[in-house]
Chain A
Amino acid sequence: MTKSRLAVIAFGAVIGAALTASADAQQRVSVYTAHTANIVERLIPEFEKATGIKADVVKAGSGDIINRVRAEAANPKCDVIWSIGAELLEANGDLLQAYVPKEAAMIADAFKPTGAWLPYTGILNVFVVNTKKLKPEEYPKTWTDLAQPRFKNLVSMADVEKSGSAYMQLNTFLAIYGDNDAGWAKFKTVFTNTAISTSSGAVPRFVNDGEAVVGITLEDNAYLYLKSGGPVAIVYPADGTSAIADGMALAKGAPNPAAGKAFIDWSLSAAVQDLVVQELGRRPIRKDAKPLAALKPMDQIKLVKYDIKNAADKRKEYIDKWQALVQSR
């Protein structure tokens, strides 16, 4: 091998090493979130631009986030828990510290904070269907329609243990059909038809690609594919669905409490709330926010009462039953 070749390689290595990240003394905030990556990457630059604070984001399922915060409790690393299932925040209040945001008065009455956590956006559980595989009259209308044999292995749903929204969907089902043996037996008939996906964000992907025909997912996940021109439609279950807040909170012992509070205030600001509603398809929680015209108005959707407290208290029992279902097949 000639010396010149070596020189080329050595030069390349030096250039590469010169890319080394520069150390910066900037103000930082550490955010743990269940938002999908595309939302994180849409919103975080806005936050950094607006506040000058650098955000370090850890992305995982809601359940994993709480586990991680709990595991780190002796030596907290997280400042803000952002966009995770409200019942998880309700159930793990000991990991949070209360904070009254600057614009607390602007939060709509239906979403008034009840514990140490704060509402971030309104979310709604829906079915997403593939319009190439199903004609409108073939869409499932109700939760129990999903148990029909024609949907065998064609219903996509996320893992209840990992995904906050899938846990909400299970609770919604039980709220309609009873939190008792009969309700669970009915749920099992739906469960038998499902293919469990790793994350709730992937559910509309499978439906869009025809890997599944129906998905149980959050309205905004489905809306992302709808607005991008994918062959999907949103179905609001006629037997009812749940609309609740997904939450955020300041973590107890947050290493950067001031930056964490700034992050929460930013999340509740009119501009950000307008963005998450108009662009991402979330439901508004501010009194002054306009709903998104492309989505069905809330007053035309049948809602069931969703008991966050109950969902929080029953989590262990429900997860155990879910695991038993998963292992039984």
Chain B
Amino acid sequence: MIPRMRFDFWTGVLLLALAVIAVLLVWPLSSIMTASFIDNRTGAATLGNYARVLGQPFFQDALINSMIVGVGGMLGAMALGIPLAVLTTRYVIRGRDMLATLAVLALVSPPFIGAYAWIMMLGRNGFVRLPLEELGVPVPPIYGLFGILLVFSLKFYPFVFLLASSSLRTINPSVEEAAEGLGAGAWRRFFKVTLPLVFPAVSAGALLTFVLSIADFGTPAIVGGRVRVLATTAYNLFTSEMTGNPGLASATSMVLIVVSLIVVALQRWSVGRRNVAGAMVRKPVPKYLGPFASAAAHIVCYGIVLVSSLPSLVVIYTSFRKTRGPVFQAGFGFESYERILREVPHVISNSAVYSLVSVALIVILGTLIGYILARRESPMAGALDGALLVPYIVPGVVLGLAFVVTFNVKPLELTGSATIIVLMLFIRRLPYAVRSSASILKQIKGSIEEAAISLGAAPGRAFLKITLPLMIPGVVAGALMSFITAINELSSSLILYVGRTMTMPVRIYLSVLDGEFGTAAALSTILLGATGLAVYAVFWVSGRNESAFV
């Protein structure tokens, strides 16, 4: 039989998805790649940009610093996340749900808010530093690597915690009991049996924290001091390049992409080698600890979670302090909120509108693409799946630069518009929705839909009437997650905004740079409130499933 190309609804969706990927990912990234090979002055093809950035001591420092914050952020997140996961899944810890909720809140709140909250706490005159120093506790300066690593560890540990705990909860306890029966001590058992079993989950979490750490722009920009990383270097090069072609910034961006790619490849390779299947026979039951061990375990768990929640508390407290101009006075007041509502109300509505519009687009296309990936395997769908990995790897600063380079001239002149920001949020978060919708579909039997088709319904109609209603809870959870990340997006918006399209994170960043901590805190509190509501809604629709957040 000759294979026939059958054009139906799903072929149309597939073509649309490929077109979107081509315009919003392939084109911008190839533009920035091209820009990295063009001489800024002459416009001729050159390797000079790479020679210049790779040869500069400040660039080499940035590369080394990026590796340090990547590895350091990853190790810090593991050092906090793994003990928390082990203790809360293996032993009875009171208030476990509350701890998990607080960890999720720490995870979804924007890192640059944490960065300046830590300045208020541990800066040279910080209200936590001064009492500590009086007690004789040495505190390293917050500006620099210490500050960056502190913020990253406390920000990203929930990834490791959530992935490791869901994995720990699916380990068949008989495996560990067998090891015990064969005479292995507790530590040996943990390192030889338990750890290899959770390795894929932990390494996935660790990889994620590494990639997020080297991609993060706000934290090193605010607490980095003299420490520059690749993301801040690319941004600085971009804002100071004198010509129309940001060759140096583009070359720096390419290096950043390559580093991320290598890490992702390494993680896949190592997980592939140690694929351990755990058959679900019975769930491990949390054990009771003796009084002293239990007290110690509670202190560790609550300590980690409370310290990671501190920045949010400081920000909320600061937002209600009485201010006169930029100077804080004794007592409380609403001046910071009044100023925001009087001076920059559009910033709040911009953030709301851009995130909602992009989430609407994400949900529509993401759900459809997820369906194709789960149900309609083809070489083209495979290509689509591969292309959708790209936004995971490309940092916001880089994609922002790529958008500017691509969309500031005809045929698609979008710089300065709200559209370009919405499209950026859309493409950055689309893969998350695709993944969640594909994974829900794997739990829904295809036979119901096939029955509808064999009864005469068109494929599009069969999907809308049968499968979609079954998918809705998962889709809503995915949409809320996209909303949380979209409303907190800083790095790409900072490159793409103009005054009229300024968003809350951009305004917070600019306020922090100007030393306007009161208004920054008030806007951050609004942002935290919106994020918290969305988190609550996710729990509401997904029935308290924290792993929805990773």
Contacts and interface: CB of A to CB of B under 8 A. Distances in A.
Nearest to A154: B124
Interface stretch (B207-215, B298-306, B342-350, B377-385): B342-350
B239 A9 contact: no
A294 B352 CA distance: 43
B241 interface: yes
B280 interface: no
Interface string A41-78: 11001000000000111111001100110111111010
Contact of B476 (A9, A45, A64): A9
B329 interface: yes
Contacts of A9: 476, 537, 541
A9 B483 CA distance: 13
B64 interface: no
Contacts of B540: 5
Given A198-B513, A202-B515, A6 B472 contact: yes
Interface in B378-430: 408-409, 413, 415-416, 418
A224 B241 CA distance: 33
Given A56-B499, A74-B244, A19 B353 contact: yes
Contacts of A212: 124
Contacts of A19: 349, 352-353, 356
A271 interface: no
B243 A17 contact: no
Given A6-B476, A13-B356, A67 B510 contact: no
B516 A16 contact: no
B123 A225 contact: no
Nearest to A130: B125
B324 A20 contact: no
B360 A17 contact: yes
A209 B500 contact: no
B515 A60 contact: no
A36 B357 CA distance: 31
Nearest to B141: A153
B511 interface: yes
Contacts of A236: none
A161 B507 CA distance: 22
B353 A38 contact: no
A77 B409 CA distance: 12
Contacts of B124: 210-212
B161 interface: no
A71 B541 contact: no
A237 interface: no
Given A59-B499, A59-B510, A5 B326 contact: no
B501 to A, nearest CB: 9
Nearest to B124: A211
Given A6-B476, A224-B325, A225-B326, A71 B241 contact: yes
Interface in A258-286: none
Contacts of A70: 242-243
Given A205-B517, A227-B325, A21 B349 contact: yes
Contacts of B41: none
A37 B409 contact: no
B349 to A, nearest CB: 5
Contacts of B498: 30, 56, 58, 77
A110 interface: no
B365 to A, nearest CB: 16
A327 interface: yes
B42 interface: no
A5 to B, nearest CB: 7
A17 B324 CA distance: 36
A164 interface: no
Contact of B356 (A16, A45, A77): A16
A301 B243 CA distance: 41
B148 to A, nearest CB: 15
A103 to B, nearest CB: 26
Contacts, number: 138
A228 B327 contact: yes
A37 B226 CA distance: 24
B352 A16 contact: yes
Contacts of B143: 195
A282 B109 CA distance: 39
Interface in A227-246: 227-230
A329 B143 CA distance: 15
B57 A199 contact: no
A196 B226 contact: yes
A228 B329 CA distance: 9
A285 to B, nearest CB: 24
Contact of A202 (B241, B243, B323, B514): B514
B240 A21 contact: no
Given A5-B541, A56-B499, A70-B243, A224 B326 contact: yes
A201 B515 contact: yes
A206 B515 contact: yes
B513 A41 contact: no
B473 interface: yes
A208 interface: yes
A1 interface: yes
Nearest to A60: B239
Contacts of A85: none
Contacts of B323: 228
A122 interface: no
A2 to B, nearest CB: 10
B9 interface: no
A23 B260 CA distance: 40
Contacts of A206: 515
Given A67-B241, A210-B125, A211-B124, A228 B326 contact: yes
A119 interface: no
B513 A202 contact: yes
A202 B225 CA distance: 13
B360 to A, nearest CB: 7
Nearest to A132: B125
B190 interface: no
A247 interface: no
A327 B349 CA distance: 42
B513 A64 contact: no
Residue of A42, A75, A196, A329 with highest tally of chain B CB at under 10 A: A75
B240 A161 contact: yes
Residue of B125, B242, B349, B540 with highest tally of chain A CB at under 10 A: B125
Contacts of B510: 37, 59
Given A1-B473, A211-B124, A228-B326, A13 B360 contact: yes
B537 A327 contact: no
B515 A204 contact: yes
Nearest to A57: B499
Interface string A315-329: 000000000001101
Contacts of A21: 346, 349-350, 353, 418
21 contacts: A1-B472, A1-B541, A9-B537, A16-B353, A17-B356, A17-B360, A37-B507, A55-B499, A56-B498, A60-B239, A64-B239, A64-B240, A75-B413, A161-B240, A198-B513, A201-B513, A201-B514, A205-B326, A205-B515, A206-B515, A211-B124
Given A19-B349, A73-B244, 4 more contacts: A37-B514, A38-B326, A225-B326, A327-B58
> Which 6 A-B pairs have CB atoms at the shortest separation, nearest pair first?
A205-B515, A228-B325, A210-B125, A41-B343, A57-B499, A228-B327
